Structure 1
Amino acid sequence: MSARSENFLLRRYIEKAMVDLPAMPTTVMRVVRAIEGGEASAAQIEKIITADAAITSKVLKTVNSPYFGMPRTISSVNQAIQILGLNQLRNVTLSIGVLNALNTTSPRIQALQQQCWEQSFASASAAHRIAVKKGLAKPQQEAVLIGGLLHDIGQLFLLTLFNIPYTEVQTRSKKQIAPLHEVERQVLGTTHANLGASLAERWSFPADLVEMIRDHDGDPTAETLNPTVACVHLADRIVNRTIEPESAEEIYPLDPKFAEWLNLSDAELTEIAEATMKDMEQAKVAASA
Structure 2
Amino acid sequence: MEIEVSATLLDAYKCLPGLPSHPEQIAKVIDVLGKTSSADYDLLHLIQYDPAIAARILAVANLPVYGYERRVESLQQAAGLLSPSLVTSVILTTPVFEMFRDADHTYHRKFDHLQLWAHGAVTGTLAALLANKLGTMEEDVCLTLGLLHDLGKMALIINHPREVLEALDRARKDALPFPQALQDVAGCTPQEVAGQLAEEWHYPANLIEYIQSLENGKVARETGPVVIVRLANRLAEDWGYGDGLHLPENEPLDPLVAALGISLSDLSQWKPDMQSRAENRARRILSKTLS
What do residues 211-242 of structure 1 show as CA deviations (whole Å, max 9, x unaligned)?
3321223443x775221111111112222343
* 1:104 and 2:65 matched: no
The 1:258–1:13 alpha-carbon spacing in structure 2 relative to 1, beyond 3 Å, is: same
Q: 1:161 to 1:209 in 2, by over 3 A?
A: same
Q: Secondary structure at the match of 1:78?
A: coil
Q: How does 1:113-192 map to 2 (within 5 A)?
A: 113-137=113-137, 140-192=138-190
Does the CA contact (< 8 Å) of 1:64 and 1:74 recur in 2?
yes
Query: Cα offset for 1:128?
Result: 0.9
Q: Structure 2 CA distance, aligned partners of 1:100 and 1:62?
A: 13
CA contact (8 A) 2:149 2:211 kept: yes
Farther-moved stretch of structure 1 (199-208 vs 100-109): 100-109
RMSD across aligned positions (CA) = 4.3
Secondary structure in 2 matching 1:258? helix
Amino acid at match of 1:175: K
How do 1:214-225 and structure 2 match up within 5 A? Answer: 214-220=212-218, 225=222
Taking structure 1 as reference, are residues 59 and 281 closer, same or farther at Cα in structure 2, changes over 3 Å only?
closer
Report the CA distance shift for 1:199/1:254 in structure 2 as closer, same or farther (over 3 A).
Answer: farther
Cα offsets for 1:46-85 (capped at 9, x unmatched): xxxxxxxxxxxx69817949xxxxxxx9612222358859
Which residue of 3, 8, 33 maps to 2:3? 8
Partner of 1:276: 278
Give the Cα separation in 2 of the matches to 1:77 and 1:165: 41
How many Å separate the matches in 2 of 1:200 and 1:228?
A: 17
What is the letter of the counterpart of residue 131 of structure 1?
A
Distance 1:142 1:158, change over 3 A: same
Amino acid at match of 1:226: T
The question of whether the paired residues in 2 share the 8 Å contact of 1:193 and 1:213 is answered with yes
Partner of residue 90 from structure 1, selected from 45, 59, 78: 78
Provide the rounded CA distance (Å) in 1 between the counterparts of 2:76 and 2:288: 14
Q: 2:52 maps to what in 1?
A: none
Partner amino acid for 1:11? S
SS in 1 for 2:39: helix
Higher helix share: 1
- Partner of residue 69, structure 1: none
- The 1:23/1:167 distance shift into structure 2, 3 A limit, reads closer
**How far 1:170 sits from its partner (Å)?**
2.0
Q: Give the superposition deviation at 1:171.
A: 2.7
| Corresponding residue for residue 46 of structure 1 | none
Native 8 Å contact 1:234 1:254 kept in 2: no
Kept in 1, the 8 Å contact 2:171–2:181? The answer is yes
SS in 2 for 1:18: coil
After TM superposition, the structure 1 = structure 2 runs for residues 31-46 of structure 1, keeping only pairs within 5 Å, are none
5+ residue gaps, structure 1, are: 25-57, 66-72
Q: What one-letter code is carried by the residue in structure 1 that aligns with 2:209?
A: E
Distance 1:180 1:9 in 2: 21
Matched, 1:61 2:29: yes
How far apart are residue 130 of structure 1 and its match?
A: 1.0
Distance in 1 between residues matched to 2:192 and 2:289, nearest whole Å:
24
* Separation of aligned partners in 1, 2:98 and 2:227: 30
What is the match of residue 76 of structure 1?
37
Could you tell me which residue of structure 1 aligns to residue 17 of structure 2? 22
Task: Pick which of 189-198 and 89-98 moved more.
Answer: 89-98
Q: 2:257 aligns with which of 249, 259, 262?
A: 259
Instruction: Verify the 8 A CA contact 1:238 1:273 in the aligned structure 2.
Output: no
Q: List aligned pairs for 1:169-248, cutoff 5 A.
A: 169-220=167-218, 225-241=222-238, 242=240, 243=242, 248=248
Alignment deviations for residues 181-214 of structure 1 (CA, whole Å, 9 cap, x no partner): 2222332332101210110111012333323321
- Give how far 1:141 is off: 0.3
Percent identical? 18
Q: Distance in 2 between matches of 1:258 and 1:75?
A: 42
TM-score normalised per structure 2: 0.65
Letter in 1 for 2:149: H
CA–CA separation in structure 2 for the residues paired with 1:154 and 1:285: 25
Q: Which runs of 5+ in 2 are unaligned?
A: 20-25, 47-73
Q: Quick check: 163-172 or 266-275, which moved more? A: 266-275
